[in-house]
């Protein structure tokens, strides 16, 4: 694998996505933050700082996911529809370099988008003099990025073998099930049917436990998990992302161009 070719693809994805006016989402977020800062204290006399923090983190997560899912699922399909993939694959470039370059390019864009929105969010909290832990907020941002990287890998995997619409639906389903899998596993333990419980155990093992990458609720209350737990959850997210990328490369290798 040639790092220079991977970097060239990543840079191309970054530039193209920027030209698609993705950063307009930053303006949407900034306007939403101003609205929250002005309106929430009027309707919530108590704990309005925590409400603003909660809404801000949720907005960052939601807007970033929009980019990760809708752009990620079209990264490969767009190349196929435009037939530019035939030119790229005909060059001395492996399909692994193609997939990894696409992932790194969108992940880089998401890191910039996430950093800008987090900075705006922290400035907003500073203006209202909110007693919120900046360190906890930053940790929540780091783990949000790990979740986004995993979702982009899933979007690429689904995008290499189906249409953009179906790939989007599959990725959204994976996202929802990933956040609900732990709750479903706990619910299944309350059921006496062993077969039913086994099914949910398998689902939990196969699907990513995205709640392990969710520090947003804890950050609102200034809570930071122990270092060992943070490292373990970060490693879990990275390993799952790598596995999804490997699957995407294997599936893409079976496509005939």
pLDDT band at 46 (very low <50, low <70, confident <90, very high): low
CA 201 to chain centre: 24
**Confidence band for 162, pLDDT divided at 50, 70 and 90:** confident
CA distance 242 to 138: 24
Position with higher pLDDT, 144 vs 84? 144
CA dist., res. 210 & res. 48, Å (int): 28
Contacts of 224 (CB under 8 A, 6+ apart): 133, 135, 136, 139, 215, 218, 230
Using CA atoms of 209, 199, 164, 244 in order, give the dihedral in degrees to the nearest 10: 50
State the pLDDT at residue 233.
94
- Averaged over 213-229, what is the pLDDT? 90
pTM of the model: 0.89
Each residue's pLDDT tens digit, 172-184:
999 998 888 777 7
Mean pLDDT of 160-189: 85
Could you tell me the residue ranges of all domains in the chain?
3-254
């Amino acid at each position: 694998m040639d790092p220079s070719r991977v970097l060239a693809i990543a840079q191309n994805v970054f530039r193209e996505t920027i030209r698609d006016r993705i950063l307009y989402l930053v303006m949407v977020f900034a306007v939403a933050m101003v609205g929250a800062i002005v309106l929430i204290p009027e309707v919530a006399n108590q704990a309005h700082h925590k409400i603003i923090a909660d809404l801000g983190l949720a907005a960052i997560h939601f807007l970033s996911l929009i980019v990760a899912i809708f752009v990620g699922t079209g990264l490969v399909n767009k190349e196929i529809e435009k037939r530019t993939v035939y030119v790229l694959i005909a060059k001395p470039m492996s399909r692994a370099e193609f997939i990894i370059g696409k992932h790194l390019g969108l992940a880089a864009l998401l890191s910039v988008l996430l950093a800008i929105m987090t900075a705006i969010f922290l400035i907003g909290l500073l203006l209202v003099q909110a007693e919120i832990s900046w360190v906890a907020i930053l940790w929540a941002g780091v783990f949000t990025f790990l979740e986004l990287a995993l979702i982009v890998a899933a979007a690429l995997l689904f995008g290499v073998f189906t249409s953009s619409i179906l790939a989007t639906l599959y990725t959204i389903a994976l996202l929802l099930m990933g956040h609900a899998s732990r709750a479903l596993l706990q619910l299944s333990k309350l059921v006496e049917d062993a077969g039913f419980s086994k099914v949910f155990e398998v689902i939990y093992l196969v699907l990513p436990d995205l709640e392990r990458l969710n520090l947003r609720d804890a950050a609102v209350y200034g809570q930071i998990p122990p270092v060992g737990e943070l490292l373990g959850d970060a490693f879990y997210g990275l390993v799952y992302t790598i596995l999804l990328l490997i699957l995407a490369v294997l599936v893409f290798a079976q496509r005939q161009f």
